[in-house]
A and B are shown apart, each in its own frame.
Chain A
Amino acid sequence: MTSVIVQTAVLVLAVGSVFFTFVATVGLLRLPDLYTRAHASSKADTLGAGFGLAAVAVAFGPSRAALKVVLLIAFIYLTNPTAAHAISRAAYDQGVEPWKKEDEGGES
């Protein structure tokens, strides 16, 4: 049986994970161009994944599984912003123009 503290911690971390994943989804759907979308996804989604995997680690308790989850968190924290940076840089080399305030009404 798990204690009330563990249940509360898992609940809070899971709610945080869903909230930040929601923020990333809204940013990805509503922001105007590639670079702002990459910004939303690389930060909010990484934080959401961190919270969610922290909830998983707390749920498993001190064990080998929790160690694997910590490795997973470290790996995602390293690779997710790197991937977003690489994709944005590829887009810039391809000549994708950053969004500017002037062309309002040009809702894409």
Chain B
Amino acid sequence: MISVGSTMAAAAAAVVVLGVAVLYRVVRGPTVQDRIIAVNVLGTSTVVVIGFVAAALNRPFFLDIALVYALLNFLLSIAAAKLTIDWGDVL
């Protein structure tokens, strides 16, 4: 059976590769909101990767970093959505 640590490391690597693919939409995305959605997905992937790394290296305090990152990610999405309404296409 595969160990838990290597499973977590492989899953983290796979999610990072998929995140690099999402970067295409950040660069290309025709509208500002396309980019914001893609950055939001990237942030969620980052939270999951931090969780995977915490489990792979057995470092529980990484989860605090993941929690703060999730909060900041939500704040970024809401703030960017509000700014595009108030100021138009500023991003």
Contacts and interface: CB of A to CB of B under 8 A. Distances in A.
Given A18-B14, A76-B70, A46 B60 contact: no
Q: Which of A2, A14, A24 has the most CB of B within 10 A?
A: A14
Contacts of B66: 72
A52 B15 contact: yes
A68 B64 CA distance: 8
Given A56-B55, A72-B51, A87-B36, A17 B3 contact: no
A93 B84 CA distance: 9
Interface string A51-83: 011011001100111001101100110011011
Interface residues of B, number: 50
Contact of B63 (A8, A45, A68, A76): A68
Q: B-side binding surface: helix, strand, loop or mixed?
A: helix
A87 B83 CA distance: 10
Q: A-side binding surface: helix, strand, loop or mixed?
A: helix
Given A17-B48, A91-B33, A25 B22 contact: yes
Contacts of B7: 7, 10-11, 14, 55
Interface residues of A, number: 55
A34 B34 contact: yes
Given A7-B1, A80-B44, A83-B77, A21 B15 contact: yes
B4 A7 contact: yes
A17 to B, nearest CB: 6
A72 B10 CA distance: 21
A75 B33 contact: no
Contacts of A17: 11, 15, 48
Interface string B45-73: 10110011011000010011011001101
A80 B67 CA distance: 14
6 contacts: A17-B15, A25-B21, A34-B33, A90-B85, A94-B33, A94-B89
